[in-house]
Amino acid sequence: MTIAVLGAGAFGTALAVALARNGDAVGLWARDAGHAAAMQATRRNDRRLPGAELPQNVTVSAEIADFLAASTILLAVPMQRLDAFLHDHAGALDGRMLVACCKGIDLASGRGPVAIIAAACPKATPAILTGPSFAADIARGLPTALTLACADPRAGEALQAELSTPVLRLYRTEDTAGAELGGALKNVIAIAAGVVSGAGLGDSARAALMTRGFAEMSRLAFALGARPETLAGLSGFGDLVLTCTSAQSRNFRFGQALGAGEPFDTTTTVEGAATAEAASVVAGRMAIDIPITRMVAALVGGHVSVPQAVEALLSRPLKKE
């Protein structure tokens, strides 16, 4: 086995399917033994990615030890679970090529996935795979382009070659901060875009929100060392556009429910919710103004109502663009 995907959610499963179609022997780890057994038997992941067939060269298991021979390991667990997951399995994972496939900022530490990996597994080579891509699209084999960020240029080139397929195009950068911050912060703006949609504020308001959202994403990311071209690329602007304009996005749909005052399934992964709060804390420490993100955090925390949030954003002092 050359590639192991740890985490059998929608994204991990879709990546396993895409890489297996490319001819690689792929291992897919699920934390729940029953779920792993069901996937191995049905050759589908009905729980997280219904409709996608697992190619025969995908091996599913709940035993992490089954995947230790893999040369590349993709980490597709939710952001707020990544730190604990790595600490639980550091013995098996340290020293390996570890590619984060999650988007967000860890609430407890204020760190992104690459720094979380570096702290938990200091001998590993960390990288991140991020960008505009719905799991269902990847699993269907639709054309997709992503950013692969790795500070080590040779490792980055090797990963780009290994993880690209004819329909999954990876663009490479050494700017891990830019790639992970773009992916993390766009989910927060997508929640806000969903609120605009759910509250019936119109497409013009959404365009304004996305543009000002991109401005504050950039402000925070640059202060944390990101490069402008990364923010303007697939992992930043590209994913912002996708997530703010598609009802396939869970962050967008969560925002729509908030905006419309409707309930939302609490078991759904909505990375932007915790990241809004984490980003607000990080930005607050650095005295960086990210008003939309702070308002999303306040809305998610139940500290303001939608009309109050809209009023607060619209009554900010007029300033230069």
Ligand X SMILES: O=C(CO)COP(=O)(O)O
Binding residues for NADPH: 11, 31, 103, 135, 250, 270-271
Nearer to ligand NAI, 49 or 290 (CB): 49
Q: What token pair was written down for 207?
A: 């365009």
Stretch touching ligand X by CB under 6 A, among 59-67, 214-222, 242-250, 306-314? 242-250
Among 147, 243, 256, 293, which residue sits at the site for ligand X (rule: CB under 6 A)? 243
Q: Write down the least CB distance from residue 277 to ligand X, Å.
A: 17
| β pairing state of 44-45 and 125-130 | unpaired
Asked about 123 being catalytic, the answer comes back as no
> Which H helix or E strand runs over 169?
strand 168-173
Interaction of residue 102 with ligand NAI, rule CB under 6 A = yes
Interaction of residue 140 with ligand NAI, rule CB under 6 A = no
Cα distances (angstroms) measured from residue 310 to each of 247, 299, 307, 313: 21, 10, 5, 5
Nearer to ligand X, 152 or 264 (CB): 264
- Greatest alpha-carbon span in the chain: 60
| β pairing state of 26-29 and 144-150 | unpaired
Question: Rounded CA gap, 285 and 120, in Å?
Answer: 24
Partner in contact with 239, chosen from ligand NAI, ligand X, none, beta carbon below 5 to 8 Å by kind: ligand X
Interaction of residue 80 with ligand X, rule CB under 6 A = no
Cα distances (angstroms) measured from residue 37 to each of 16, 18, 55, 150, 269: 16, 21, 16, 34, 23
Q: Write down the least CB distance from residue 190 to ligand X, Å.
A: 6
Partner in contact with 102, chosen from ligand X, ligand NAI, none, beta carbon below 5 to 8 Å by kind: ligand NAI
Q: Write down the least CB distance from residue 62 to ligand X, Å.
A: 24
